[in-house]
Structure 1
């Protein structure tokens, strides 16, 4: 099943040595990255594909059957490996990752720390007020607040962008997430876009089933539609 979420970053430098590049911290293996043998063209944008792996520590209580002692053992922490792709366009200075944003964030931070890697990236600050203005319908807004005992508020509804508090959040650059419809591929698609650099499609991409990476193509169209990219 194709991914329906993707992470994106602005990248001004992305130099990865040939072959398999191991990512370590204090000599402990954390992951790896390898450039794929072929490029990928989406519309008029050429992407270099990288195959990535990252191991993350998960703090959670689980019970596992140990065949050596033929009994169940409880753990409160374990390691989980993630295999994912990164797509980088030097032309657009944009990077997409089909891993979750937390995994992408940790992976890029550790990758940038490697001595033989030249990586300069940042999250793209989004003008949520402008994005809302481009949406035929804004369905949800999440924003920071200084209200006592509250750090975040979520508003949802058919016309959430006419609510006074939501409008203030948009105008004061406090919105950190927005959900709404955009005209992509000739019809309205419901998407979520966050300041953390996450894009989620709530609408099926079945019409793109013949594409190699439908979520990549869809995300590129969304970022063009909201004015982040010009292709």
Structure 2
């Protein structure tokens, strides 16, 4: 089973009109958000559920098959449509989006400018040094670098936090990504956290397969484990 991810945001306000709200950019429709009116309770936390849609434009040369001409055509731009759930807790002031963080960022940025929408959000700020200390095993650290010609460095290994550069990055709050093991919901899981708001789990969530939204439940449990939420 491939790794699963979810994007997380702190939210002070998330007022969305009933029904479907188109999202426009330069007078073109790039997506929409649907207020489903549905609420669900996960581990005592009440979430409102929305459905987001976003069309991402990619600038790259690819070949596609054209059935009309029965031939391959080269194109340098194409769109990919993403549809995803958004879960928002008024009480915890937290939002989970089950798509990638780059899509979530673009979606929320464009949503914020729509008439009738009131959205105020920010990225989580995580204390990676404290989280690393909680991990029986820290297996990866990525951080920004001032070295000539190098924007970032990444270290991986069984005890990567014992490396001087990785340790200094954690201590100086320069780390942008951490990978390690944590006991979450009674099992050891290998996870990745980023300062941009991504939680990724490499360990299959077989014990949660009977849940309607297993990644949401896992994300909530993870934030409680690292003491971001009570």
Settle same-fold status: TM greater than 0.5. Answer: yes
Deviation at 1:207, TM superposition (A): 0.7
Match for residue 17 of structure 1? Answer: 17
Structure 2 stretches lacking a partner, 5+ long: none
Deviation at 1:104, TM superposition (A): 0.5
TM-score (norm 1): 0.96
Match for residue 96 of structure 2? Answer: 96
Match for residue 58 of structure 1? Answer: 58
| Residues 49 and 205 (structure 1), Cα distance of their counterparts in 2 relative to 1, 3 Å cut | same
Equivalent positions of 1:111-150 (< 5 A) are 111-150=111-150
TM-score (norm 2): 0.97
Equivalent positions of 1:1-80 (< 5 A) are 4-80=4-80
User: Aligned to 1:87, what secondary structure does the other structure show?
Assistant: strand
User: Aligned to 1:125, what secondary structure does the other structure show?
Assistant: coil
Q: Contact 2:59/2:78 (CA < 8 Å) preserved in 1?
A: yes
RMSD: 1.3
Deviation at 1:167, TM superposition (A): 1.0
Q: Contact 1:2/1:214 (CA < 8 Å) preserved in 2?
A: no
Cα distance in 2 for partners of 1:2, 1:86 equals: 21
Deviation at 1:166, TM superposition (A): 1.1
Answering whether residue 223 of structure 2 is matched by residue 227 of structure 1, we say no
User: Aligned to 1:212, what secondary structure does the other structure show?
Assistant: coil
Deviation at 1:2, TM superposition (A): 9.2
Match for residue 87 of structure 2? Answer: 87
Q: Contact 1:38/1:48 (CA < 8 Å) preserved in 2?
A: yes
Q: Contact 1:31/1:54 (CA < 8 Å) preserved in 2?
A: yes
Q: Contact 1:2/1:213 (CA < 8 Å) preserved in 2?
A: no
User: Aligned to 2:165, what secondary structure does the other structure show?
Assistant: helix
Q: Contact 1:142/1:154 (CA < 8 Å) preserved in 2?
A: yes
Cα distance in 2 for partners of 1:69, 1:186 equals: 57
Deviation at 1:71, TM superposition (A): 2.6
Q: Contact 1:3/1:215 (CA < 8 Å) preserved in 2?
A: no
Cα distance in 1 for partners of 2:149, 2:63 equals: 36
Cα distance in 1 for partners of 2:93, 2:47 equals: 10
Q: Contact 2:3/2:204 (CA < 8 Å) preserved in 1?
A: no
Cα distance in 2 for partners of 1:144, 1:190 equals: 23
Match for residue 152 of structure 2? Answer: 152
Deviation at 1:3, TM superposition (A): 7.3
Structure 1 stretches lacking a partner, 5+ long: none
Residues 107-146 of structure 1 show CA distances to partners (whole Å, capped at 9, x for unaligned) of 0000001121000000011111011011111110001111
Q: Contact 2:53/2:82 (CA < 8 Å) preserved in 1?
A: yes
Q: Contact 1:12/1:93 (CA < 8 Å) preserved in 2?
A: yes
Match for residue 110 of structure 2? Answer: 110
Deviation at 1:100, TM superposition (A): 0.6
